[in-house]
Amino acid sequence: MKNADRISSIAILGLCAYFWIESRRFTMFGLLFPQAVVIALGLLALALLIVSFFRKREKVKALEQTGVKYLNIIAAGLLLIAWTFFIKLLGFVVTSAVFFSVIAIMFDSRKKTALYLLKKIAVVVATVGFFYLFFSKLLLVPFPRGVLF
Amino acid sequence: MSSFIAIFYPMNLLFIILGVGSGIIVGALPGLTATMAIALLVPFTFAMAPIHGLVLLGAIYCGAIYGGCFSAILINTPGTPSAIATTFDGYPLAKKGEAYRAIVTATVSSVVGGLIGVLFLIFLSPPLSRASLKFGPPEFFWLTTFGLTIIATLASKSILKGLIGGAFGLLISTIGIAPIGGSVRFTFGTVSLQEGIGLIPALIGFFCIPEVLGMIERKEKHYHVITYRKQKNVVLNVLRKLLKKPVLVIRSAVIGTIVGIIPGAGGNIAGLVSYNEAVRASKYPQKFGRGIVDGVIASETSNNAEVSGSLIPLLTLGIPGAPPAAVLLGALLLQGMRPGADLFTVHAGIIYTFIFSLILSNLLILPMGIYSGKLVSKLITNIPVAFLAPFVVFLSIIGSYSIHNNIFDVYVMLFFGIVGYVGKKVGFGPGPIVLGLILGNICEQGLVQSILMGKAAGSIVSIFFTRPISIVLIFLTAVSACWPILRKYLAEAKKK
């Protein structure tokens, strides 16, 4: 956690520097609050950085010992980003059916037979289809559109 | 009176039943929280009549906080953070073959706690909202400062990180056109950011995406659900037991309400404090943790009382008492209703119907909770996390898009979701950040207007530091900021 604290406090200080420079071109009343917040945030980040040097060394578990599979999280994060970016291209329903299926299959620990895959895709398509009809036709909630739908 | 009758209108009744039912399911499923459920549904209430939307969200809030007890009792995993203390005695009771008794006790206690909480809400809110009329810009500035310091102290393990989270929330609230002065700030050349960061997409991002990634982290977890059979006369026996323990019930409900009123302290803190007090006051403290109904009563009475408690500062001052209440604030603002005295005068019909609907929501927990137990325990085992996670993402995208029909809001949601997840991993909880984002605008207006008032009056210092309400708020801010040090000092003094 010590390293995480150092990295996050340095990142926050960087953010503060950027916001401070940007804020200098605002009107007097427009810059008052952001600059006050930047000063407060900067001082707090600096305090966190200083504290991280004086804190006793903690026993940090190796990543594999925590049981968290970080590759899975990175893969999931990338899939979420791809999901949102493909919406404009393919349309929300098609993109959702594809990425919903990929995530539901990828992160299920059960054995993946052909029948399992078919069942899973059918359930996902039915779910997406049901909610699409329910929201767009019944509740008149707008959906993002793309080349397809 | 007309507000009370309005809760029995067919549409309101339908939304209350739907809300309590879906809330119980969401609360029972580990990984899904009350905050997440409300955040996901807020955008869909935009198209509804304000009262329907509020009644639905209030019912979900009550149902979800109660629903957490099922997984706490049957699989030793709290369905919502509010049910943490319920696992201490609920699960041991279930292991002893008394799962049904534990569930009925949790149900009846939740109903009683919820009703007591609503009574506090009914009687405390109108005078407090009238008091808010005495608040000017300096008082609002200090009130928001107090809200941020207290959430930083209570919602985070480290006060420093809590304060950083709150300040970060304030900073992102400054994105967009300045409320005074009109500068276009920190938009990075993006036109969509001129309106500022959308509150609902940010709330969905902070509260839903980290949970989704958390589910993927824990994907290997398989739950063993304790099965149970219904027994006769358990409900009556539990009711008798509760009547014999009025002090335990009332104390837990009062603790829940007070903790709810304190900004940032959610149902988990209410449950734990109440459980701790129940142990301290008990004649047989050694039995706690081994399966005793008193533990379940304390936790469940308290966490459901906390629901209404968290709405008191929200409706009267615009300061949410707990994360789900923060999302409800988003729903109120979306419907064009600003918390404060106006809410109890201009929108009195809607707000009182909403408050009275909480009575019915709590009462409905009794039959719905007891009869849906079997179905809920089946859902806990049969819905795979690998399905639940993308389903939440699917709803998050629809929810964040539907407010402005703008794909940019989806990107905002995802961005803050990833920021929220990374932040959580390094110790920055989403609570302070979201509160900072919500309170930023009020805080800025308070600060700038106070300075203008001070300049006109000839002394900025006297405007900030000499008004009576401000002095009280400054004192409370100082106490809450120093609370970790004070607590340590008091604990050491007690040991000596």
Query: Picking from A110-114, B325-329, B365-369, B459-463, which range would have the lowest pLDDT averaged per residue?
Result: A110-114
> In this predicted structure, what is the pLDDT of residue A96?
93
* CA–CA distances in Å: residue B369 to residues A49, B61, B107, B375, B451: 49, 14, 6, 10, 53
Contacts of A28 (CB under 8 A, 6+ apart): B181
Taking the Cβ of residue B425 and every Cβ of chain A, the question of whether any pair is shorter than 8 Å is answered with yes
| pLDDT at A100 (0 to 100) | 93
Selecting from A28, A99, A104 the residue whose C-beta is nearest the C-beta of B387 gives A104
Please give the model's pTM, rounded to 2 decimal places.
0.85
Check B384 against A34: CB less than 8 A apart.
Answer: no
Tell me, yes or no, if A92 comes closer than 8 A to chain B by beta carbon.
yes
Q: Does A108 touch chain B (CB under 8 A)?
A: yes
Give the ipTM of the model, two decimals please. 0.91
List, for residues B205-221, the tens digit of each pLDDT value.
998 899 889 888 876 55
Q: Is B182 on the interface with A (CB under 8 A)?
A: yes
Q: How confident is the model at residue B254 (pLDDT cuts 50, 70, 90)?
A: very high
pLDDT per residue as tens digits for the range B383-410: 787 888 899 899 899 888 888 888 999 9
Q: What is the structure's pLDDT at B253? A: 95
- With cut-offs at 50, 70 and 90, classify the pLDDT of residue B56: very high
Cβ(A149)–Cβ(A136) below 8 Å: no
Would you call B170 an interface residue with chain A, using a CB distance cutoff of 8 Å? yes
Quick check: B259 and B270 in contact, CB under 8 A? Answer: yes
Segment B143-153, tens digit of pLDDT: 889 888 877 77
Q: CA B81, CA B205: separation in Å to the nearest integer?
A: 19
Question: What is the DSSP secondary structure assignment for residue B186, as one 8-state letter?
Answer: S
Secondary structure (DSSP) of B82-130: GGHHHHHHHHHHIIIIIHHHHHHHHHHHHHHHHHHHHHHHHHHHHHHHH
Nearest CB partner across the interface for B213, out of A73, A109, A123 = A73
> Which three-class secondary structure state does DSSP give residue B175?
coil
- In the stretch 36-55 of chain A, residues with CB closer than 8 A to chain B read 36-38, 40-41, 44-45, 47-48, 51
* A78 alpha-carbon distance from chain centroid: 9
Residues 6+ apart with CB under 8 A from B403: B43, B46, B198, B200, B201, B334, B409
The answer to whether residue A28 neighbours chain B at the CB level (below 8 Å) is yes
Question: Which pLDDT score is estimated for A63?
Answer: 45
Phi, psi of B282 (to 5 degrees): -75, 150
pLDDT for B299: 94
Which amino acid is residue A34, in one-letter code? P
pLDDT of the residue at A3: 84
Q: What is the pLDDT of residues A101-124, one digit of tens each?
A: 999 888 887 777 888 889 889 999
Contacts of B15 in chain A (CB under 8 A): none
Q: Which pLDDT score is estimated for A138?
A: 78
- The answer to whether the CB of B473 falls within 8 A of the CB of B143 is yes
Q: Average pLDDT of chain B?
A: 87
Which of A21-25, B234-238, B415-419 holds the top average pLDDT?
B415-419
pLDDT of residue A67: 60
The pLDDT assigned to B223 comes to 65
| Dist CA B447 CA B455 (whole Å) | 12
Phi and psi at B176, nearest 5°, equal 110, -165
Distance CA B352, CA B372 (A): 29
Cβ atoms of B32 and B207 within 8 Å: the answer is: no
Distances, alpha carbon B253 to alpha carbons B105, B201, B285, in Å: 15, 34, 20
Cα(B170)–Cα(A21) distance, rounded to whole angstroms? 17
Contact between chains at B389 and A103 (C-beta distance less than 8 A): yes
B339 versus A60: the higher-pLDDT residue is B339
User: pLDDT for B12-23, tens place per residue?
Assistant: 999 999 999 999
Helical H segments across B383-429, by residue range:
385-402, 407-425
Q: How far is CA B438 from CA A39, A77, A135, B66, B145, in A?
A: 20, 26, 28, 27, 12
- The model's pLDDT over B430-470, given as tens digits with 9 standing for 90+, comes to 888 988 998 898 899 999 999 999 999 888 899 999 999 99
Give chain B's length. Answer: 496
